[in-house]
Homo-oligomer: A and B are copies of this chain.
Amino acid sequence: MAGSSFGTLFRMTTWGESHGKGIGVVVDGCPAGLSLCEEDIQVYLDRRKPGQSKFTTARNEGDTVEILSGVFEGKTTGTPISLLVRNQDQRSRDYSEIASYYRPGHADYTFDAKYGFRDYRGGGRSSGRETTGRVAAGAIAAKALQTLGITVTAYTKEIGGICVSEEKFDLALCGQNRLYMPDAEAARKAEELLTQKMSEMDSVGGIVECIATGVLAGIGETVFEKLDANLAKAILSIGAVKGFEIGDGFAAAKSFGSENNDAFCMRDGAVAKKSNHAGGILGGMSDGDTIVLRAAFKPTASIAKQQDTVNRDGEEIEISIKGRHDPIIVPRAVVVVETMTAAALFDMILMGMGSRMDKIKEFYGGKR
C-alpha cells in the first residue's frame, strides 16, 4: 500500500533510497502565506547530516535542499512544496556481499519477505537516509508552529544508560556538544562510553526527549485521533525506535493516582496544572501545559563485531559488517524526533479548526 505519507491536512510524502539519485519529499496542505526559503529547511538538515563528529559516519553528503515548487516570491502558495536533495555518494561499490545475506537488526530479510527482492545498496529505502525527507518536511511545520507561538525542541536524554540529570539540565548546552545533551557532564561520560564501544566494534542505544511549549488546550481528537496517539505513530515510524512515552510514561504504571494526577489551579487568570505528570495531554487533547514525549532508540544495528546470520540461499554464516557506521543513532535522530513531532502537532492543529460551530461561523462569516 501507500505507506510513505504522514498527516491528513498537513501531509508529507517522502521518497528515495540511500544510494539512488536522491531523497525528497512533497509537502501538501501547507497553508499559504508562510515565509519560506531553502535556508529555513537547510538548518534542520544540517543537524542530521553525516560527518559532524567522530561518532557519525564519514559519508560525504552536502544534503543541499532545493525547493522545486509551492513557494512564490518567498511565500508558500498553498500548493504542494516539492523538496529535493540529490545524493552525491552514489559510487558503485561492490554490494554483492551485502546483497547475499540478511544483516541482524536490519530490514533486509523483511524487505525480501514482503517484496521478493530489495534495493540492497546502503539499505535502500530502510536506510537512516530516508529521514532526510521527513526532517525537511517537519522543518516547514516547525516554522509554521513558530508563527503560532509554539516551539518544539528535542535533545538527547540518555545514552547507553547515562542520563541527563535534572539538576544540571540546560538546553543551551545542547549546541555545545555533538551528542545534543543538555548536561555537559553526562555528555562527557557518554562520549567516553561511545569511544570505548567503538573500539569494541559495538554500538549503543539511547533516549531522545522532546518538548513542545505554547500549545493551547484542546488540540487533538478524542478517540482514535488522540494527539498522543498520533505522536506515538509519528515517533514509532522512525527507524530504530522501540518505545514511546508521553509525560511520565512507564513510570506512571508504577505510580499511584494521588501522585500521578496533576491538580488543576489558576495561574495568571487561566486554568493551569500544579505538576505535569500527564506530559501536557489529557484524554488525547493538549491541556495547555508543556508536551513532553520520549523515544527509545535501539543501538545501531550495523556493527563490526562478528555476528551469526543466514544468506539468501538459506545457509547459516558468520559476518562482520564492513565500513564506517555511527556507533549510536541518537544524536542525529534528535532532529528527526523534533521535526516529526512538529509535523504531527501542526497537522492536528489544522484538523481541530472545525471543532466548534461558533468558531466556524466566525471564520466563515468574516471577510475572506
Contacts and interface: CB of A to CB of B under 8 A. Distances in A.
A258 B310 contact: no
Nearest to A278: B105
A279 to B, nearest CB: 7
Interface stretch (A43-51, A55-63, A168-176, A230-238): A230-238
A210 interface: no
Nearest to A288: B113
Interface residues of A, number: 169
A226 B221 contact: no
Nearest to A82: B15
A365 B111 CA distance: 19
A368 B244 contact: no
28 contacts: A1-B225, A3-B226, A4-B221, A4-B224, A5-B13, A5-B28, A24-B69, A31-B355, A32-B115, A32-B117, A32-B356, A78-B356, A79-B119, A111-B285, A114-B217, A114-B285, A206-B253, A207-B250, A229-B232, A233-B233, A242-B279, A243-B253, A252-B297, A263-B308, A263-B309, A264-B310, A266-B314, A277-B298
Given A217-B109, A224-B5, A260-B298, A16 B204 contact: no
Given A236-B232, A237-B284, A253 B105 contact: no
Contacts of A252: 205, 242-243, 296-299
B260 A299 contact: yes
Given A77-B117, A258-B307, A349-B364, 12 more contacts: A1-B355, A9-B354, A15-B82, A32-B356, A72-B124, A78-B114, A79-B124, A114-B218, A233-B236, A237-B284, A248-B298, A256-B299
A53 interface: no
Contact of A261 (B125, B266, B296, B307): B307
Nearest to A306: B258
Contacts of A298: 248, 252-253, 255, 260, 277
Contacts of A13: 5, 13, 26, 28, 80
A183 interface: no
B242 A243 contact: no
Interface string A34-46: 1000000000000
B16 A82 contact: yes
A229 B235 CA distance: 7
